[in-house]
Structure 1
């Protein structure tokens, strides 16, 4: 085989074949004369070689045509001939790759990820300590500037950092995003390459290389086929190629860490989705109350309509205590009730809407009251008619001196005269106490936790690899595992390779399907690659 190299031709490598029969004698082109005559132009000879390739195995002659060159290749260019835009693009691409690699190295740093997790845990604990979603006055009173907590922490810090709504605050969501980026970077730079390497199966053709593995042993008077049979019985994937063997087990243990990272990302995504929430319009159609015979409130109900963003009703339900409304991550509970407004007619004028205010009384019973001015409303000592109600059934009225005047039911249309004024109770309007929880991220969080538990258990499976080579009548075997037990020392300088083969060997021995001379050595292979 001949190789000729010219400066104007790219170097050509010929594949070695069994027999090469040229039909002619090849004369190399005189490079010195050619170079002297190519000062301004480049010319390349175009020629064809017809030859026969003989395959020794089949002894057939195959006619081949090998075309070395059919057109003049582009001349070699110097750096000065390269366009500046091309240089700039290459430089920018190289800079971008270096920057991306550097960012991935920083994000995949384990101490950084641990610090991010501790920071998130600290913020979550702080969110538990600081009451969430309260009115500003609450924080003014509990975190005043004149008596700061820990000497510096006041309501200004809470509002500035968003600690009054911690789990939707930018600092908390930013830390979640940073941890997610670290997990993805670790998966990309560490876990995925490990999986690619683990999926490759290769043979070792050198006994010395096998002996350099973490665990190695020599099996005298053994057959590599018997070793492969035993490993297959132990659950290994076995590959044989001539005198060499490769086997592995527990590849799922390598895949599981990626699943753990994905599960953590799902949990964080669900938490972020829950913090963002969603919006639907709620319309209260009717509020009603049921009473015992004694007059006490037994149950209160609210007829609700849930509207989408277009104002279309998507669900309607009457809820009560312990019977909430649930729709696409939105849950509405019936928690409380009150009386908000009293409608009255005064001397056939109105109706007037009088706001009812809760009054403090002993015990857990409720009492609401309102006031209808009589006379000069601009007087500093204005007087009027007082109205009290425990529920929506009856209204108790008092004159301007505080004396009992009578009781009227709403919608009874029965007037009552108090201090020269005719009063009619038109209606008592109740208000429904609802607890709305919109948490669309709950299914995602549950799915993430389920995947986390499953992949964590799978990750404890050991990924074991075994190589073997038939060296005469001896089988040299070695292996490694990512979760091996420590080796027991059988002698001063002897490390015993322990592989889970003993049980399967006993079965094969009983079936007379493998060499019994393996038994003394296989006893040393127990419990490492379990």
Structure 2
């Protein structure tokens, strides 16, 4: 029989328990929690500085290999590490899980035992026990019966046994740290749940068109249930309000939620910072564009011709299109527009400026009568679903409540009566000066009345 054969299941169970206790001790270490918080904060900052969920050409243009930002940060590094979608990477979620585990272990290993100890009655039976208190005194009076009402007036809960008295208040201060930990766990859980089940999409929809969410930019592995399939959105109208000097004041989208049969389920006009929310999906107004222009050549039917943004090298937005004036497309005119206010510029076949025109106006060019009926705008919508947000908001509310509770002092007072001699002392975990004043006021009252 070998040494290994002599091992019993009890031995293995004991080893597992020791290993588990050691692991819990490491995880519940405050230093580990602080390090994890710093790492999470660092990568959260990177997710704010580095644009998230952009296209590959965007990163290649803004983070080239030569010269690399800070000497190492290139588009390849960003895509390899996942800095283009930090908050949903496996390693960032793992950091959140590890921090949550640390907080949970700390709560059960330290906070609950501290609360249990604070709730335990602790009578002093010997005068020497008062020597370890920073605030203690002796009185040559019999005061045990008269001190209890004074303490109750000041909010203390009284416990008395024979000639000993124990009083405490501020137990809520011991509950506060537990609430703080629970709220942080809720925030972490909400963040993880949102990353796993949420999605982000963008759509550019012309006025009057209906759509279902298709252009998904980022989605969690469990987000399928959140992406709407039995309802969509119709853009009833998109328009822009301009200031007197011609700058954009605000842009609006009148949106209707419709089912697959086209019936309206909800309706709202959205603008920046005023989104539409429906069944956990939020539609934000983020951008705009010019989609098409409606024109008529002589007595032809009204034609809708697409219009596209032109490259101005950062000199502002301009949209342009080419309108044929002959059936064989041998001749035409160019039409430029910079906004939805209506003024457009017409260039002839040779590229010369011909005229300025507004919707409803007509111009004679290339032997035909060209009438502009309408410019059609399109609204840029950011569509987001994050089922974890209610948990995160609730967690932050609990966090504030827990922090406030944690500032409540937990004060304890002991009294021991031996004959005509009374021993009195106390301690608190914070607000030491206020506690000293309170204790002195109690003593002063006792000396005056006894």
Q: TM-score, normalised by structure 1?
A: 0.63
SS of alignment partner, residue 123 of structure 2: coil
Residue 351 (structure 2) aligns with: 402
SS of alignment partner, residue 190 of structure 1: helix
- Partners of 1:394 and 1:448 lie apart in 2 by 52
- For residues 283-315 of structure 1, give each alpha carbon's deviation from its aligned partner in whole angstroms, at most 9, with x where no partner exists: 2333344789x9978875422134689998642
CA displacement at 1:240 relative to structure 2? 1.6
Selected match of 1:231 from 143, 147, 151: 151
SS of alignment partner, residue 340 of structure 1: strand
Residue 371 (structure 1) aligns with: 322
C-alpha distance 247-298 of structure 1, shift in aligned 2 (>3 A): closer
In structure 1, list runs of 5 or more residues that go unmatched: 1-83, 487-496, 516-530
Residue 243 (structure 1) aligns with: 163
CA contact 1:268–1:445 (8 Å) conserved in 2: yes
CA displacement at 1:107 relative to structure 2? 1.0
CA contact 1:108–1:186 (8 Å) conserved in 2: yes
For structure 1, which segment, 386-395 or 158-167, has the greater mean C-alpha deviation from structure 2 after superposition?
A: 386-395
How large is the RMSD of aligned CA atoms in angstroms? 4.5
Selected match of 2:438 from 496, 500, 505: 500
Selected match of 1:340 from 291, 296, 307: 291
Residue 11 (structure 1) aligns with: none
- Partners of 1:352 and 1:499 lie apart in 2 by 83
Is 1:221 the counterpart of 2:168? The answer is: no
Residue 481 (structure 1) aligns with: 428
CA contact 1:328–1:440 (8 Å) conserved in 2: no
Residue 356 (structure 1) aligns with: 308
CA displacement at 1:112 relative to structure 2? 0.7
Residue 175 (structure 1) aligns with: 95
- For residues 255-301 of structure 1, give each alpha carbon's deviation from its aligned partner in whole angstroms, at most 9, with x where no partner exists: 11112212323333444455564555552333344789x99788754
Selected match of 1:431 from 378, 384, 405: 378
CA displacement at 1:159 relative to structure 2? 0.9
- Partners of 2:25 and 2:291 lie apart in 1 by 61
Greater RCO (CA < 8 Å, at least 6 residues apart)? 2
- For residues 333-380 of structure 1, give each alpha carbon's deviation from its aligned partner in whole angstroms, at most 9, with x where no partner exists: 44543222346688979967544334649986x5421125799999xx
Residue 215 (structure 2) aligns with: none
Is 1:149 the counterpart of 2:69? The answer is: yes
CA displacement at 1:116 relative to structure 2? 0.8
CA contact 2:297–2:325 (8 Å) conserved in 1: no
Selected match of 2:276 from 320, 325, 334: 325
CA displacement at 1:212 relative to structure 2? 4.5
Residue 336 (structure 2) aligns with: 388
- Partners of 2:11 and 2:262 lie apart in 1 by 55
- Partners of 1:119 and 1:302 lie apart in 2 by 41
C-alpha distance 340-218 of structure 1, shift in aligned 2 (>3 A): same
**Residues 37-436 of structure 1: pairs in structure 2 closer than 5 A:** 88=9, 90=10, 93-213=13-133, 215-272=135-192, 275=195, 277-278=198-199, 279=226, 281=228, 283-289=233-239, 301-306=252-257, 314-320=265-271, 324-327=275-278, 331-342=282-293, 353-358=305-310, 360=312, 367-372=318-323, 384-390=332-338, 391=340, 393=342, 397-402=346-351, 418=366, 428-436=375-383
CA contact 1:230–1:505 (8 Å) conserved in 2: no
CA displacement at 1:507 relative to structure 2? 4.8
Residue 216 (structure 2) aligns with: none
- Partners of 2:325 and 2:11 lie apart in 1 by 87
C-alpha distance 233-337 of structure 1, shift in aligned 2 (>3 A): closer
- For residues 381-430 of structure 1, give each alpha carbon's deviation from its aligned partner in whole angstroms, at most 9, with x where no partner exists: x9754233454857655443235677887799x897747x8978786532
In structure 2, list runs of 5 or more residues that go unmatched: 200-225
CA contact 1:280–1:309 (8 Å) conserved in 2: no
- Partners of 1:94 and 1:275 lie apart in 2 by 39
Alignment length (residue pairs) = 410
